[in-house]
Structures are given as structure tokens and as C-alpha cells.
Amino acid sequence: MRPRLFPILLLLLVFDLLAGGGSLSMATGAVLWKLRVPRVLTALVAGGALAVSGAQMQAVFRNPLADPHIMGVSGGAGLGAAIATMALGTSAALFTGFTVALAAFLGAFLAAFLVVAVSARFKSATTLLVFGVMLGFIFSALSSVLQYTAGEESLKLFYSWMAGSFAGCRYVEIVLMAGALVIGLLLAIANGKGLDIILFGEEYATLSGASTRRILVLSMLSCCLMTGTVTAFCGPLGFVGIVAPHLARRITGSATHRQVLPASLATGAALALAADILANLWPVPLPVGSTLALIGIPLILVLLLRNSASNVKH
Amino acid sequence: MGTNNIHSTALRVDHLTIGHGDKVLVRDISFELAPGECVLLAGPNGTGKTTLLKALAERGPVLIPTSIPKVKGFTVDAFIRTGCYRESDWRGRISADAAARLEKALELLGIQSLKHRDISTLSDGEFQKACLATGLTRKAEVLLLDEPTAHLDVENRIDVLRTLKDVARRTGTAILFSSHDLHDALQVADRVFVLTRDGRFLASEDKETALTQAFPACF
């Protein structure tokens, strides 16, 4: 029986609105509109965007563990954030969240640009995958070097971004993320039949008349726009991008992207809401990056073990 | 070198040379395929069978490669539609004509009952027929198959080979397939093309003669 995603999503949304600091009476006013609604909307948009990105990466690289951060996007965003908070000075007050977000976004796009630029030279998607992963390691290493030389205030700001959070986004930032989600989703849908055929291998796709480079570049653009924007405002959030597409395939019983993309949008949003509820059950909210891991890791293990550790049968 | 479709010729190749980069594998390949003909492409490993099939595919014929993964989550219907990449719109929808050809192909191959089955649950023989159906839905006049019987057990191998012959006869599609299972493949092939270790292409009406030249040690 396929669970109905919409009622589950609605239920999680209501629970997430009720979760968090402040009494229920307070929740009717400023707390609701200035804190909880933006937080819930952020979780919805960010979860959906990361999940749609993950679905594309898993198709392009035919790897069940691929996620939007695998191409060094998160490493690039981290380096951008590190530069903003540390290298430019220790006066953290000057660097508001928006500056960190902008720098992180630029870092994510630098990574995406490098990957797309070298993709023409690599015939195989696997080689490109290795390049992306290595790029991520280089960016992380550079971030670590910057942290080593940073002051206490800068480090605090950087670590709070790294921990990940759906709280603190203003409506203008949510609109930016929603805009990135809409464009990214449209790109993914337009690339849907390409994402389908690439699952059968590059050779089969090429012989059927598809351009594997076009499929790759379109999906990279879509992923980097969505993941870059979300990571900039919410920090690097793992596991949604890996788990949500698996859940979507499980629920729809299909791997075709006409079904997987919208279903991933819903499962990603549901996962993000669940992680946000768990994070806000405590007097001091937990980092969402950690609650996502706590929910995501058992789920991915169950899903992968049930699929005999492989989505593809030869 | 050239390819033309004329009334009695499904594919004509004149003086084609194949190779990898600067390395020439086979020179001076010339042959014609008639509609409804089923031809075996034989030769030892590394002589260029796959390279030749790919070179021919660039000139129009549909090539079904060997070892296509049976991705879970695709029905036979969805798999065939996905394979019709050029024939479908951006939503992946194929034309009414192509949909009619798909139905006809499933009927011809006797796999209508599998239309809504997940391809990961098909036997290798059934999946090979789904691949053939993709070629027929794409309205191929010439269908090239790279090792269609690789990984198949004896029963499935004979079934797929007979199906190839049947499809060629009944649809007028010219079929050129490579295979290492010479004994079984020879039963259905009308002719044999052979690639030899010394880089020659042999096309003979007499199947035994061609194979003796290709595999002297075996005959």
C-alpha cells in the first residue's frame, strides 16, 4: 500500500509549527509569523530542493549514494563561508548571515563551474564523480586551514553555519530559495527523459540519440542552483538528498523521473520537517544537520539493505 | 563509403574502414543487407565486431548494445518508451504511430502480458525481447544487435535466436547480430559476415566456408 504523501506532509507541517520555544499563546502572534512560519517554510523548500537535486545526481551517476553535495558543492559553499567569516577579518559583527550566505553561494557555484568546465574533457561520468569528490576534499582542506588561523568570534559564526539550521531565514531569503527551487525543478523536469535514459548507461543513451553531456550539464545546473542557494542560507545539510529519492522510488514503485521528481520533492520536504520537529523538541534546539543524520541514516540503511544494496540489477 | 536505402537493399556499405583512433582494425568492408535478412557477424574477440556495429549505427540503423542494465522501477512499457528518445517529446511521450508500433511489437514478440511488469523481474530472454521491441518501435529498417545471446542459458538463447529470425521475416527488418554461440546462431542466420584476426572482412553466401577462414583451428 502506498502511503498518501500529502496528508503526512500536512501533519508534519502542523507538528513543526507547534514545535519550538515559546508558549502556545505566544505562538499565535509574533512567534508564529516571525519565527515558526519562516522556519517551517524554510524546511519545506530546503528539503524539497535537496531531494530533487539528489534524485538527479543519483540518476546521472547511477549511484544510490550520490547526493547533491557529492560534486564538491558543499565543500565550495563551506570554503566561501569560511573566507567570509575568517579570512576577511575577525570582526564578525561586520559579516551578517547574508554575507556568509552570499559567500557560500559563490563558493558553491565555483565548484559547479569547475565541474561543468572539466566535464567536456571526461568521457565517463564516474571520472567526473571522482573529480567532484576530490574537489570537495580540497575545498574542505582549505576551509580547515582558514579555521586554524581564525579568531574565536569568526569560528563561532562559521560553526553555527556549518551545524545547519532552518531557523533564522527571513521571508526574502525564503523567496530566493523558493525561486531557485522552481527554476531547478523546471530544469529537472525538462531533463526528465534524459535522466531516465542515462540510468541505462551512457552507451545506451548515446545510441538512442541522447546527448549525455547535455543531460549532465542540465542536471548540474539544476542541482547547483538549488543546493547552492539552500546551503548558503541553511548550511550544509546531508542525507535528505540521499534518502528522499530512495523513499520516493519506494513509495511510487517507479524509477521514472516523471514520478520520482515530484515524489522526491514531497519526501524531501517531509524529512526536513521531521528533522526540524526533532530538533525543536528540546529546550535548546539541536542542530538540524545532526537530527537529519539521526533520521536519515537508519532510513537509508533499511532502504539499501532491502534493495540488496543495489538499485540496479544486471 | 556510403549507406543507401533502395528498394531491395536495407543497408549498403561500401569500402568502410573501422578502427580505434589511428589504429585500423578492418579495411575495405563492403556488403549489402536485404530487407528481412538475418545475418550473423562472427569473429574472434578483438577483431572489431562491436566497433563495426557502432560505426554502422552512426549511419542510421538502430543498435541494441550488449548488457543493458535491468533498472528496477521501469515497466517494459516505460523502458521501451525511454529507449525511443528521439521519437518522444520532452515529457517522454511518444506519438500515436509509435505507440501503435509498440503494441504491434509486443504482440509480434509474444510479450504483451509483460507490458506492465517491472523489467528487473524479467528473465534475460524476456528482457532481450523487450530490447528488440524498442528497436521495432523505433521503426528500424535495419536492427543491429551486439551479442544478444550473451549471458543467456541454452533455452533462452535458442528462443531469442528464433525470435530474431521470425522478426526479420515477418517485419522485413534486416537484422545483423554478433554472437559467439556459432553453433546456435548458424541455425538461424541466412548469411555470415566474418572479421578475421588479420583484419579482413569476409562475406560469404556459404556459411561454412566463411567460418573455416575465420576460425581455421576449429574446422
Q: Which residue has the higher pLDDT, A57 or A65?
A: A57
The count of CB pairs under 8 A between chains A and B is 79
- What pLDDT does residue B2 have? 41
- What pLDDT does residue B3 have? 44
Does A309 score more than 80 pLDDT? no
- Give the pLDDT band of residue A213 (cuts 50, 70, 90): confident
CB proximity A249 to B under 8 Å: yes
For residue A34, give the 3-state DSSP assignment. helix
CA distance A247 to chain B (A): 13
- Give the pLDDT band of residue A25 (cuts 50, 70, 90): low
Task: Report the distance separating Cα A195 and Cα B18, nearest Å.
Answer: 31
Contacts B92 to A, Cβ<8 Å: 192-193, 196, 256, 258
Does B14 score more than 80 pLDDT? yes
3-state secondary structure chain B: CCCCCECCECEEEEEEEEEECCEEEEEEEEEEECCCCEEEEECCCCCCHHHHHHHHHCCCCEEECCCCCEECCCEHHHHHHHHCCCCECCCCCECHHHHHHHHHHHHHHCCHHHCCCEHHHCCHHHHHHHHHHHHHHCCCCEEEECCCCCCCCHHHHHHHHHHHHHHHHHHCCEEEEECCCHHHHHHHCCEEEEECCCCCEEEECCHHHHHHHHCHHHC
Q: Which residue has the higher pLDDT, B107 or A116?
A: B107
- What pLDDT does residue A311 have? 46
CA distance B192 to chain A (A): 24
Which of A312, A173, A155, A299 has its CA nearest to residue A230? A173
- What pLDDT does residue A127 have? 84
Q: Do A253 and B78 touch (CB under 8 A)?
A: no
- The rounded mean pLDDT for chain A is 86
- What pLDDT does residue A308 have? 59
Does A306 score more than 90 pLDDT? no
Does A312 score more than 50 pLDDT? no
Percentage of residues in chain A with pLDDT exceeding 70? 90
Contacts B65 to A, Cβ<8 Å: 201, 203-204, 207
Does A145 score more than 80 pLDDT? yes
Q: Please tell me what DSSP assigns to residue A35.
A: I
B143 contact partners, CB below 8 Å, separation of at least 6: B61, B62, B64, B132, B135, B136, B167, B173, B174, B175, B176
Q: At residue A260, what is the residue type? A: V
- What pLDDT does residue B176 have? 96
- What pLDDT does residue A214 have? 92
What is the DSSP track for A245-275? HHHHHHHHS---HHHHHHHHHHHHHHHHHHH
Q: Which residue of B has its CA nearest to A259?
A: B73
Q: Do A204 and B68 touch (CB under 8 A)?
A: yes
CA distance A102 to chain B (A): 34
Average pLDDT (B193-209) is: 84
Neighbour count for residue B186 (Cβ, 10 Å): 16
Q: φ, ψ for residue B171 (rounded to 5)?
A: -105, -15
Task: Report the distance separating Cα A185 and Cα A179, nearest Å.
Answer: 10
Average pLDDT (B146-157) is: 90
Contacts A60 to B, Cβ<8 Å: none
Contacts B88 to A, Cβ<8 Å: 193
Average pLDDT (A283-312) is: 81
Average pLDDT (A215-237) is: 90
- Give the pLDDT band of residue A29 (cuts 50, 70, 90): confident
Task: Report the distance separating Cα A185 and Cα A191, nearest Å.
Answer: 10
- What pLDDT does residue B27 have? 85
CB proximity A258 to B under 8 Å: yes
Given the C-alpha cell 548458424, which residue does it identify?
B186
Q: Do B90 and A253 touch (CB under 8 A)?
A: no
Point out the residue among B54, B69, B85 whose CB comes nearest to the CB of A210. B85
Q: What angle do CA A9, A292, A236 make, to 5 degrees?
A: 110
- What pLDDT does residue A70 have? 78
For residue A312, give the 3-state DSSP assignment. strand
Given the C-alpha cell 574502414, which residue does it identify?
B17
CB proximity A307 to B under 8 Å: yes
Average pLDDT (A227-246) is: 91
Task: Report the distance separating Cα A13 and Cα A48, nearest Å.
Answer: 13
Task: Retrieve residue A136's grid coordinates.
Answer: 570537495
Which of 3.50.50.60, 3.40.50.970, 3.40.50.300, 3.40.50.620 is the CATH number of B1-61+141-219?
Answer: 3.40.50.300
* Interface with B, mutate which of A191, A193, A215 (most B CBs under 10 A): A193
Length of chain B as a residue count: 219
Average pLDDT (A291-307) is: 87
Pairing of strands B62-64, B70-71: unpaired
Beta-bridged to residue B118, according to DSSP, are B75
Q: φ, ψ for residue A237 (rounded to 5)?
A: -115, 115
Contacts B83 to A, Cβ<8 Å: 197, 200, 204, 208
Q: How far is CA A164 from the centre of its chain?
A: 11
Task: Retrieve residue A253's grid coordinates.
Answer: 514503485
Domain(s) of CATH 3.40.50.300: residues in chain B: 1-61+141-219
Point out the residue among B62, B68, B88 whose CB comes nearest to the CB of A200. B68
- What pLDDT does residue A294 have? 94
Burial of A28 (0-12, 13-18, 19+ CB in 10 A): exposed
Q: Do A209 and B86 touch (CB under 8 A)?
A: yes
Pairing of strands B62-64, B201-204: unpaired
Does A313 score more than 50 pLDDT? no
Q: Do A192 and B73 touch (CB under 8 A)?
A: no
pLDDT in tens, A72-131: 888 898 898 888 877 665 554 455 667 878 888 899 888 888 888 887 787 777 888 888
CA distance B60 to chain A (A): 10
- What pLDDT does residue B219 have? 57
CA distance A314 to chain B (A): 5
* Interface with B, mutate which of A187, A195, A199, A200 (most B CBs under 10 A): A200
Does B112 score more than 80 pLDDT? yes
Q: Do B78 and A256 touch (CB under 8 A)?
A: yes
Q: φ, ψ for residue B38 (rounded to 5)?
A: -120, 110
Task: Retrieve residue A1's grid coordinates.
Answer: 500500500
- What pLDDT does residue B174 have? 95
- What pLDDT does residue A153 have? 79
Q: Do B70 and A199 touch (CB under 8 A)?
A: no
Contacts A260 to B, Cβ<8 Å: 73
Taking the CA atoms of A280, A281, A286 and A290 in sequence, report the sign of the dihedral they define. negative
Q: Which residue has the higher pLDDT, A202 or B218?
A: A202
User: Which of A:200-219 have CB within 8 Å of B?
Assistant: 200-201, 203-205, 207-210
- Give the pLDDT band of residue B206 (cuts 50, 70, 90): confident
Does A3 score more than 80 pLDDT? no
Task: Report the distance separating Cα A38 and Cα A47, nearest Å.
Answer: 14
Contacts A207 to B, Cβ<8 Å: 54, 57, 62-65
Contacts A196 to B, Cβ<8 Å: 74, 78, 82, 92
For residue A71, give the 3-state DSSP assignment. helix
Task: Retrieve residue A166's grid coordinates.
Answer: 532552518
Taking the CA atoms of A18, A20, A26 and A30 in sequence, report the sign of the dihedral they define. negative
Does A177 score more than 80 pLDDT? yes
Please give the model's pTM, rounded to 2 decimal places.
Answer: 0.89
Q: Do A196 and B91 touch (CB under 8 A)?
A: no
Least trusted range by pLDDT, from A122-131, B100-109, B135-144: A122-131
* Domain locations in chain A as residue ranges: 5-306
pLDDT in tens, B162-177: 999 999 999 999 999 9
Task: Report the distance separating Cα A246 and Cα A141, nearest Å.
Answer: 31
Contacts A258 to B, Cβ<8 Å: 91-92
pLDDT in tens, B58-93: 988 999 998 899 999 999 999 999 999 988 998 889
CB proximity A309 to B under 8 Å: no
- What pLDDT does residue A1 have? 42
Beta-bridged to residue A312, according to DSSP, are B71
Does B143 score more than 90 pLDDT? yes
| Whether domain A5-306 has CATH 2.40.50.140 | no
Percentage of residues in chain B with pLDDT exceeding 90? 61
